């Protein structure tokens, strides 16, 4: 019998994925300074696009003042469409669907990457990290302009030939900043109550869907982080109310962003329930939920899917093992790598800037100092 993750999956819009394993969106720092995709980045995606059913790219900034990382893919200008098209084709030519993740960094953007070196957010509240800049509060007309920019980014993704976009509403970036009572202290239509804190992300969703309706087969997903550490911060109750509201939109999937699929609450150590499973239990019958987080072996993935989760994205694991799906499908699960050595970069086709981040960030990846010797 075929493993559940190797079975095809069909969205309600009729698009079928060849299997249920996705490459999770992972920043790779490898685009050119002007936002064009580099050869190194194309090679990285090609290496990981043959087995998986879907590739969700690293985030692409929708405005110049929303750039969150050095070497980030740009989707903020029409002149980048040709470059984006090479990325979509590189993924699709290997047999996977190509989804472009679109985003705005808000107060988390490095000031030196921004045109005026000034971060922006829902309110002038700095993130809780040492030396962080206090962002400038966005004016209502700027908020409207960013909403439109998400629509324009979607149009460019469609013109470039992508199969879909994922709206990045997670990981403390701008959409989450509007939803969070920590970063959003506004008292206008864009903040105050829980309902008003949802207004900006929902307006972005509406704008993206309005653009995407030109092609009924174009996939639109939304990525969400269930909770925040900050006080006040996003609680699981807030998120369950928000996902109830997101389900009313015509989205194709909801992608939950957590470090560990099985982990409980980051706010309440007593609460051990998987955040992903809680969202699946709440809305999984109405919208496909993508699970993610520290899943390495086929056994891990099957366990995660046992609670009804239909789709799984692998991030760090597909960096360590680009051929994960092929090995799992060919009874070679024992050959799947779950760590890497400092010498593996070329074999794994990982761009140099990402590789430096991997080996110089303790605890992010299981890194060995030496290659494995043959037994």
Q: Which helix (H) or strand (E) holds 74?
A: strand 73-74
**Domain that includes residue 145, residue range:** 4-368
Percent of the chain with pLDDT over 90: 98
What are the tens digits of pLDDT across the range 5-40? 999 999 999 999 999 999 999 999 999 999 999 999
373 found inside a domain: no
| Res 320: pLDDT | 98
374 found inside a domain: no
| Res 371: pLDDT | 63
Task: Tell which phi-psi region holds residue 318, choosing left (phi > 0), alpha (psi between -120 and 50) or beta.
Answer: alpha
111 secondary structure, DSSP code: G
- Who contacts 337 (Cβ-Cβ below 8 Å, separation ≥6)? 320, 321
Strands 367-368 and 340-341: parallel
What are the tens digits of pLDDT across the range 269-305? 999 999 999 999 999 999 999 999 999 999 999 999 9
Q: What is the pTM of this model?
A: 0.98
Whole-Å CA distances, 29 to 225, 241, 329, 358? 22, 34, 31, 12
Per-residue H/E/C for 159-223: HCCCCEEEEEECCCCHHHHHHCCCCCCCCCCCCCCHHHHCHHHHHHHHHHHHHHCCCCCCEEEEE
- Who contacts 188 (Cβ-Cβ below 8 Å, separation ≥6)? 140
Question: Quick one: average pLDDT of 70-94?
Answer: 98
The CATH number linked to 19 is 3.20.20.70
278 found inside a domain: yes
Question: Quick one: average pLDDT of 155-183?
Answer: 98
The first and second tokens of residue 48, run together, are 């990981």
What are the tens digits of pLDDT across the range 226-251? 999 999 999 999 999 999 999 999 99
| pLDDT band of 55, cuts 50, 70, 90 | very high
Active-site residue, from 45, 173, 222, 253: 173
Q: Is the pLDDT of residue 183 over 90?
A: yes
- Which residue, chain included where needed, has tokens 């090995």? 327
The first and second tokens of residue 38, run together, are 């580099």
> Dihedrals φ, ψ of 251, to 5°?
-75, 155
What are the tens digits of pLDDT across the range 309-318? 999 999 999 9
| Res 373: pLDDT | 52
What string of DSSP letters covers 319-370? Answer: HH-TTHHHHHHTT-GGG--SSEETT-HHHHT--HHHHHHHHTSTTTS-EESS
36 found inside a domain: yes
Report which of 281, 278, 284, 309 is spatially closest to residue 295, judged by C-alpha positions: 309
286 found inside a domain: yes
195 found inside a domain: yes
The first and second tokens of residue 358, run together, are 């991997």
What are the tens digits of pLDDT across the range 213-228? 999 999 999 999 999 9
> What is the distance between the alpha carbons of residues 289 and 316, in angstroms, rounded to a whole number?
19
Average pLDDT over all residues of the chain: 97
158 found inside a domain: yes
- Which residue, chain included where needed, has tokens 């962080």? 132
| Res 38: pLDDT | 98
What are the tens digits of pLDDT across the range 134-143? 999 999 999 9
Q: Catalytic annotation on 5?
A: no
> Dihedrals φ, ψ of 164, to 5°?
180, 180
Question: Quick one: average pLDDT of 322-338?
Answer: 97
- Contact yes or no for 223/170 (Cβ under 8 A): yes
In the chain, how many domains are there? 1
310 found inside a domain: yes
- Which residue, chain included where needed, has tokens 């929708």? 62
| pLDDT band of 369, cuts 50, 70, 90 | confident
Question: Quick one: average pLDDT of 177-206?
Answer: 98
Helix 39-47, helix 81-92: angle, nearest 10: 30
Report which of 58, 49, 63, 177 is spatially closest to residue 113, judged by C-alpha positions: 63
């Amino acid at each position: 019998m075929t493993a559940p993750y190797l079975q095809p999956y069909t969205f309600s819009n009729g698009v079928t994925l060849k299997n249920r394993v996705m490459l999770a969106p992972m920043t790779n720092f490898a685009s050119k300074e002007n936002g064009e995709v580099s050869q190194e980045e194309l090679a990285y995606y090609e290496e990981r696009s043959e087995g998986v059913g879907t590739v969700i790219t690293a985030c692409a900034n929708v405005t110049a003042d929303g750039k969150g990382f050095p070497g980030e893919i740009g989707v903020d200008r029409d002149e980048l469409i040709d470059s984006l098209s090479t990325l979509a084709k590189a993924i699709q030519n290997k047999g996977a669907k190509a989804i472009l993740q679109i985003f705005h960094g808000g107060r988390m953007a490095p000031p030196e990457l921004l045109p005026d070196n000034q971060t922006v957010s829902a309110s002038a509240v700095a993130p809780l990290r040492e030396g962080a800049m206090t962002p400038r509060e966005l004016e209502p007309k700027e908020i409207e302009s960013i909403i439109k920019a998400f629509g324009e980014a979607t149009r460019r993704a469609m013109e470039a030939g992508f199969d879909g976009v994922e709206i990045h509403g997670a990981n403390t970036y701008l959409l989450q900043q509007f939803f969070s009572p920590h970063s959003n202290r506004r008292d206008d239509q864009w903040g105050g109550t829980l309902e008003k804190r949802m207004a900006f992300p929902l307006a972005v969703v509406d704008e993206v869907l309005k653009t995407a309706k030109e092609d009924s087969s174009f996939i639109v997903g939304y990525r969400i982080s269930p909770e925040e550490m900050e006080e006040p911060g996003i609680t699981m109750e807030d998120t369950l109310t928000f996902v109830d509201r997101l389900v009313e939109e015509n989205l194709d999937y909801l992608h939950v962003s957590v470090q560990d699929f099985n982990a409980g609450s980051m706010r309440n150590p007593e609460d051990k329930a998987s955040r992903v499973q809680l969202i699946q239990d709440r809305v999984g019958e109405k919208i496909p939920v993508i699970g993610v987080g520290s899943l390495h072996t086929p056994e891990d993935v099957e366990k995660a899917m046992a609670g009804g989760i239909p789709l799984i994205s692998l991030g760090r694991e597909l960096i360590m093992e680009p051929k994960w799906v092929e090995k799992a499908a060919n009874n070679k699960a024992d050959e799947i790598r779950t760590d890497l050595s400092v010498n593996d970069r070329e074999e794994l086709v990982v761009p140099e800037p990402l590789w430096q981040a991997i080996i110089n960030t303790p605890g992010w990846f299981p890194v060995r100092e030496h290659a494995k010797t043959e037994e």
